[in-house]
Amino acid sequence: MQFLFASAAPTQVRLTARIVNQDDTPDDLDAAVIDGAKAARFIGRAGQVFEHFAMDDGALVRLGLAGAGEVEAEARAANVEKAGGALAAKYVASGETDMILDLGRADLSGEEAARAMLGLRLRSWRYDALRTKLSTEKKVSLETVHVVNAPEGTQAAWESASAIAEGVEFTKRLTTLPANILYPESFVALCEEAFEGTGAEITVLDEPAMEALGMGALLGVGQGSRRESRLLAIRWNGGKGGERPTAVVGKGVTFDTGGISLKPPPGMEDMKWDMGGAGAVAGGMLALVKRKAKANVVAVMGLVENMPDGNAQRPGDIVTTMSGQTVEVLNTDAEGRLVLCDALHWAQETFSPARIVDFATLTGAMIIALGHEHGGLFANDDDLADQLIKAGRATGDTLWRMPIGPAYDKLIDSPIADIKNVGPRPAGSITAAQFLGRFIQKDTPWAHCDIAGTVWSDKPGPTHEKGATGWGARLIDRMISDNFEQ
């Protein structure tokens, strides 16, 4: 979708959309519009939409009003974004190719206006490339948005917001693709294409390279698949020379059958999005790079496919991680922590990060605890936890902090190895985080985000269609921009 800033509304476009405040009907509207809105009980509540049709000199014109809620609302920016998303949901497949977006009627700042545009763009994203048949009324038609009456600062704010949108869209695309198209090698190829010419440095480790480094945990997960595993690192040096980077690490299980500990068939198709952590990291990194963030950041993604063939890892196997610690694999469906422990150790050894945050669709227990409204946050550092929570509130990628601590260690102690990869049924998400914590080097600030319930949705949301949500990409960008840019 293309956004064009214009000094005046193009006369040939018949669809005009306005963002309006709650209980504030613009006084320049026709009485028919005002009365119609009142009859439809439109009051400008955040995300509420009203549409009016009229004839103008013999031509049909359409007017859409989207509510931004109350001007003084604490969630003003989110509400404005919701208004933009509501317009997208209404008009992306409306048959209109062009829309005039009037931003001059809601007392918006430049940042808020850009948030409205961001909501419109994000909610418009769909992936129809694999469809061969789609009814006309369901096809995306909206191509160009002509922005008029933009407040001062909107264009500058949109430059950054559009880069963020590109990152979120990349996350959505990766999460949406099926496992016969997206697997470790093709994930790498898509990232290489997306980051080409940006100045980011890309490093790829194949299986022999990882074997030489002793990554027995990550390689053990992928040994039952015909698809080779990969470790992907993307580095952006936009900050001060010599300053230690922030590391973001993602779990990238491109399909998870559970391995020998096979998952039940119903719903297994959803496991194409078990790479959602790596998808969030890739998209967040793309947003940072595209807007030339003034920070040093490195993204590391462990990419595997977990399959149950004759060479697959067995329950009871013991693997040696890159850190030298041994792990008793009691359940091959607790594979994400095996991928992450080697990726986390390699990231610390290679880049000596100042702090490290990992993202993973790690446990079903997280969905039981928090549903689909929040990601779970586990951290050994209060400042880092607070930074992530604040960034989540600002972007809508919200986190809820959960406990970790030595009291949980005994639950994952193994009788014959250093650690076992699952604990008992209680505290399942906590013991998974506790497992990862054993691979964090002393005094390194670390946070773990369990996002199993947030990367995919069975219903549309304010900034996403049913399916991939893009969750995490904006969180990463905001956490960096708020705390670690120069």
Within this chain, do residues 144 and 246 fall inside the same structural domain, yes or no? Answer: no
Identify whether 158 is part of a domain: no
Within this chain, do residues 429 and 330 fall inside the same structural domain, yes or no? Answer: yes
Identify whether 173 is part of a domain: yes
- Total number of domains in the chain: 2
Q: Which domain holds residue 223?
A: 163-483
Tell me the C-alpha distance between 336 and 317, whole Å.
Answer: 16
Within this chain, do residues 117 and 221 fall inside the same structural domain, yes or no? Answer: no
Read off the CATH number of the domain in which 103 is found: 3.40.220.10
Read off the CATH number of the domain in which 233 is found: 3.40.630.10
Which two tokens mark 165?
Answer: 């949108």
Please report the pLDDT score of residue 370 as a whole number: 98
Cβ neighbours around 34 below 10 Å, total = 15
Backbone φ/ψ region at 51: left (φ over 0), alpha (ψ -120 to 50), beta = beta
Tell me the C-alpha distance between 192 and 196, whole Å.
Answer: 6
Identify whether 286 is part of a domain: yes
Within this chain, do residues 180 and 144 fall inside the same structural domain, yes or no? Answer: no
Q: From the candidates 230, 251, 290, 337, which is the catalytic residue?
A: 337
Within this chain, do residues 123 and 143 fall inside the same structural domain, yes or no? Answer: yes
Distance of alpha carbon 58 from the chain centroid: 46
Within this chain, do residues 70 and 178 fall inside the same structural domain, yes or no? Answer: no
Backbone φ, ψ for residue 136 (5° rounding): -55, -40
Please report the pLDDT score of residue 425 as a whole number: 94
Within this chain, do residues 255 and 292 fall inside the same structural domain, yes or no? Answer: yes
Q: From the candidates 45, 263, 294, 393, which is the catalytic residue?
A: 263
For the four alpha carbons of 128, 132, 136 and 138, in that order, the dihedral sign comes to: negative
pLDDT of 104-157, one tens digit each?
Answer: 989 999 999 999 999 999 999 999 999 999 998 899 999 999 999 999 999 999
Within this chain, do residues 121 and 254 fall inside the same structural domain, yes or no? Answer: no
- Tens-binned pLDDT, residue by residue, of the chain (486 aa): 999 999 999 989 999 999 999 988 777 888 999 999 999 999 999 999 999 999 888 889 999 999 999 999 889 999 999 999 999 999 999 999 999 999 998 999 999 999 999 999 999 999 999 999 999 889 999 999 999 999 999 999 999 999 999 999 999 999 999 999 999 999 999 999 999 999 999 999 999 999 999 999 999 999 999 999 999 999 999 999 999 999 999 999 999 999 999 999 999 999 999 999 999 999 999 999 999 999 999 999 999 999 999 999 999 999 999 999 999 999 999 999 999 999 999 999 999 999 999 999 999 999 999 999 999 999 999 999 999 999 999 999 999 999 999 999 999 999 999 999 999 999 999 999 999 999 999 899 999 999 999 999 999 999 999 999 999 999 999 999 999 998
Identify whether 192 is part of a domain: yes
Please report the pLDDT score of residue 57 as a whole number: 83
The domain boundary residue, chosen from 152, 182, 212: 152
Within this chain, do residues 120 and 179 fall inside the same structural domain, yes or no? Answer: no
Within this chain, do residues 177 and 296 fall inside the same structural domain, yes or no? Answer: yes
The domain boundary residue, chosen from 152, 186, 211: 152
Tell me the C-alpha distance between 250 and 285, whole Å.
Answer: 11
* Cβ-Cβ contacts under 8 Å for 55 (sequence gap 6 or more): 61
Please report the pLDDT score of residue 216 as a whole number: 98
337 is catalytic: yes
Which two tokens mark 379?
Answer: 């951290």
Within this chain, do residues 113 and 258 fall inside the same structural domain, yes or no? Answer: no
The domain boundary residue, chosen from 112, 133, 152: 152
Within this chain, do residues 122 and 253 fall inside the same structural domain, yes or no? Answer: no
Identify whether 157 is part of a domain: no
Residues linked to residue 246 through DSSP beta bridges, in sequence order: 297, 355
